[in-house]
Structure 1
Amino acid sequence: MKFIVLAILILTLPDLYIWFSFVRGNVGLVWKILYWVPLLATLMCIGFALMGVHQPLLLKLFFMLLLCIAIPKLLFTVVSLAGRGVGLLLPAAAKIGNWTGVAVSFVSIGIFIYGLTSGWKELVTKEITVTSADVPEAFNGYRLVQLSDIHIGTFIGNEEFVQRLVKEVNDLHPDLIVFTGDLVNSSADELDNFMEILPQLRAKDGVYSILGNHDYCEYHHYDTPDGARSNLREVIRRERGFGWDVLLNEHRFIHRGTDSIAIIGVENEGKPPFPSFADLPKAMKGVSDDVYKILLSHDPSHWRREVLPETDIQLTLSGHTHAMQLMIGNFSPAQWAYREWGGAYQEDKHMLYVSLGIGGTVPFRFGAWPEINVITLKRPE
């Protein structure tokens, strides 16, 4: 509830500042009424969500209002107030602050409009080489593709994007495909339109997947007490129907002659409010110390919390953050919430790679473009 109150204040205060400073005495009645429509619509979307109404169109409307109106107003307010503060010493700074605030807000509107209309389709392929003396000789040059955070419900009506994703992955001819969670947004029926597309993913050693926080289907209102659990079972059933091997706190070995590597998959392990069902010791039971280990764990914070201090796992693959679907240069607001939020991180023999993922609960991306991650295992030369 404290978060909701804080969010409402952040949404409302910039409107009040702009109203009393620039609008109230300078426009006619019709414009005065229209001025408050976006804020009221945003607050109504929040109200519907609190009442358990989770409609995709309402979610999209909320994010459009948030990104294209509320945040630009907030940015203008911050810059304008900063100008007024400096203006106490240098009077001209107040006017400069206002015009700078206008410029910043319009730039942000342009960024958000691009992200909502085109950025979410800017699919890129990123390649990384993981060099380790622990890689078995037979796996030197082994190529795996990591996909993460598809959030398939966001692409309903844009099935051609998912078909393009599948084709681009298959054209890479990977040895292995791993999916590190969040296939759906909130319910299994989001997969209905993709039942013939996702099974087309192909790799020599198959497709392995794990669950992300959204796959537990708890962000949805159900009429029955077991609605979320029933949807979770259906998500798992459908993934297995695709031919994907869903790892639920377990592992698999991949063999090349007498050499092998272990693919370890845990259920979601996150800090509240995210669900935590991972059992890493169980998943690793039967995996010897001398095997090269690849862990699939949706939330990257699991790496520092348990993987680093308690295991000898050489490579961990995660997703979850999406870089908050916004990057400008090397900056993303995700770094305020996660120590490891995107790309490769190394500590001694341990590496974490965090994919920025494919989708999100809203079709928006800027800078943090949807990505296919190609990871090649190499031995030192």
Structure 2
Amino acid sequence: MLRWVVFLVIYIIIDLYAYQALKTLVRNHWVLGMYWLISIAVIGSFIGHYYGFNRREGLSNAHAYAFGFLVMVLVPKMVLLLVMFGEDVVRIPQALYRYFTEGRAAKGDYLPSRRHFISKIALGVAAIPLASIIYGIYKGRYNYKVLKYSLYFEDLPEAFDGYKLTQISDIHSGSFDDMEKVEYAVNLINEQQSDVIFFTGDIVNNKTEELVPYKNVFNKMKAQDGLFSVLGNHDYGDYVSWESEAAKHQNLEDLKALQKEIGFDLLLNESRFIERGEERLALVGVENWGTGGFKTAGDLKLASKNIAKNDFKILLSHDPTHWDKKVIQDDYHYHLTLSGHTHGMQFGIEIPGWFKWSPAKWRYKHWAGIYKEMGQYLNVNRGFGYLAFPGRVGIWPEITVIELKKGKENRS
């Protein structure tokens, strides 16, 4: 209860500061009243959905939208808070100076009025995140981007020079609310005509039933060498309550079976080979392995027991912290690791080839895109779906296409 009181007090403080910017410029009582009506409705919806949250049911779309609307109004108000508080850094010392130098001559009106141009600047700046978040909720979550890379390896088998793979990750089917947009994305995947398709975990938020309506959408994905997948932290059903351990176990078994029906070869600490004549690629898939309280069911040694040290290896591992903590130090040398998990936090700024930033960087060393260390590559997919916040701002849903090339990269 205390945390809700603290949250509400902070929200009110932010609201009062934001209101000052609006009130400085607007005198219409209907507009000012609408401000408070929207503010109360948003915070009421959020508290109503999250206070006494039912862990057995898990997060619903209603919860996501309640959170989304809170973010939509709160972030611009925080911008207003920063600007208006910055003005108070000047106003308050001026008021104190007048109090001690003018005394009663100031007639009690010590605090200078807020300046119109400061409020205009504040509202103008705040409009940028407001518009971005509205777009992110309305369009951004289905704004699929195909990102293409060519990666060079001197020891790539000749038969696989030019081999093309598509990676998707973090479908989170329980969050979707537009079947046609998902169908569009699946068609976009097939248009890449890759040799193989990889999915790197989190196909649901919590329960297998979330995926059922989309079975006949995802089973349309096609690649000549097949579809391969691994489990992510959300696939185990750890974030909701179950009536029994048996029910939780059955949910996971149902999920495995449903993935098979879709056409995925689910790798559970296992390996497979893709062959071209006498040459081969080794595919290794581990269960989820993550730091910071996430499940560590992945067993790299077990998954690799049937492959040779000199095989060319592609590893599927949901959480990129696995690559940093375990994979790149392993003496087996995993040429390419494919991960997801971070979503790029669904918020950030990216100018391809120039600039990339997201709050995700404060949590994850490797949070989006291609990385290379110790002669090994990692791709962190930004995710196909979305979770909790029903949108994406600047970090768009991703379909990764990687072409494997033999030889050294020409950097000239």
**Structure with max Cα Rg:** 2
Residues 50 and 63, structure 2, Cα contact 8 Å, conserved in 1 = no
Which runs of no fewer than 5 residues in structure 2 stay unpaired? Answer: 95-111, 351-355
1:165-180 matches, cutoff 5 A: 165-180=185-200
Q: Report the CA distance shift for 1:305/1:376 in structure 2 as closer, same or farther (over 3 A).
A: same
- Quick one: which of 381, 387, 409 aligns to 1:355? 381
Name the counterpart of 1:380.
Answer: 407
Residues 200 and 231, structure 2, Cα contact 8 Å, conserved in 1 = yes
1:80-99 matches, cutoff 5 A: 80-87=84-91, 97-99=118-120
Partner Cα separation in structure 1 for residue 7 and residue 319 of structure 2: 25
**Secondary structure, counterpart of 1:75 in structure 2:** helix
How many residues were matched structurally?
378
1:69-218 matches, cutoff 5 A: 69-87=73-91, 97-156=118-177, 158-218=178-238
Greater alpha carbon shift after TM alignment, 104-113 vs 11-20: 11-20
Partner Cα separation in structure 2 for residue 94 and residue 271 of structure 1: 49
Q: Report the CA distance shift for 1:114/1:208 in structure 2 as closer, same or farther (over 3 A).
A: same
Amino acid at match of 1:137: E
Name the counterpart of 1:64.
Answer: 68
Residues 86 and 93, structure 1, Cα contact 8 Å, conserved in 2 = no
Name the counterpart of 1:286.
Answer: 306
Residue 43 (str. 1) matches residue 47 (str. 2): yes
Residues 144 and 398, structure 2, Cα contact 8 Å, conserved in 1 = yes
Partner Cα separation in structure 2 for residue 240 and residue 373 of structure 1: 22
- Quick one: which of 339, 344, 355 aligns to 2:365? 339
Residues 314 and 350, structure 1, Cα contact 8 Å, conserved in 2 = yes
Residue 370 (str. 1) matches residue 397 (str. 2): yes
Greater alpha carbon shift after TM alignment, 81-90 vs 132-141: 81-90
**Secondary structure, counterpart of 1:178 in structure 2:** strand
Fraction of identical pairs, as percent: 34
Residues 148 and 319, structure 1, Cα contact 8 Å, conserved in 2 = yes
Residues 343 and 382, structure 2, Cα contact 8 Å, conserved in 1 = yes
Measured after TM superposition, the shift of residue 367 of structure 1 is 1.9
Greater alpha carbon shift after TM alignment, 87-96 vs 173-182: 87-96
The superposition leaves residues 90-134 of structure 1 with CA deviations (integer Å, 9 ceiling, x where unpaired) of: 989976554333223222111111111111221121110110112
The superposition leaves residues 328-372 of structure 1 with CA deviations (integer Å, 9 ceiling, x where unpaired) of: 232212112111110111113111111111111243112211121
**Secondary structure, counterpart of 1:229 in structure 2:** helix
Measured after TM superposition, the shift of residue 32 of structure 1 is 8.7
The superposition leaves residues 64-104 of structure 1 with CA deviations (integer Å, 9 ceiling, x where unpaired) of: 32221122222221232233225567989976554333223
Residues 22 and 123, structure 2, Cα contact 8 Å, conserved in 1 = no
Which runs of no fewer than 5 residues in structure 1 stay unpaired? Answer: none
Partner Cα separation in structure 1 for residue 290 and residue 192 of structure 2: 32
Partner Cα separation in structure 2 for residue 154 and residue 108 of structure 1: 23
Greater alpha carbon shift after TM alignment, 185-194 vs 219-228: 219-228
Measured after TM superposition, the shift of residue 292 of structure 1 is 0.9
Q: Report the CA distance shift for 1:12/1:233 in structure 2 as closer, same or farther (over 3 A).
A: farther
Partner Cα separation in structure 2 for residue 271 and residue 358 of structure 1: 22
Measured after TM superposition, the shift of residue 215 of structure 1 is 0.9
Q: Report the CA distance shift for 1:13/1:30 in structure 2 as closer, same or farther (over 3 A).
A: closer
- Quick one: which of 207, 213, 232 aligns to 2:252? 232
Name the counterpart of 1:275.
Answer: 295
Residues 298 and 320, structure 1, Cα contact 8 Å, conserved in 2 = yes
Q: Report the CA distance shift for 1:282/1:92 in structure 2 as closer, same or farther (over 3 A).
A: farther
Name the counterpart of 2:328.
Answer: 308
Partner Cα separation in structure 2 for residue 145 and residue 32 of structure 1: 46
Greater alpha carbon shift after TM alignment, 207-216 vs 302-311: 302-311
Amino acid at match of 1:314: H
Residue 295 (str. 1) matches residue 306 (str. 2): no
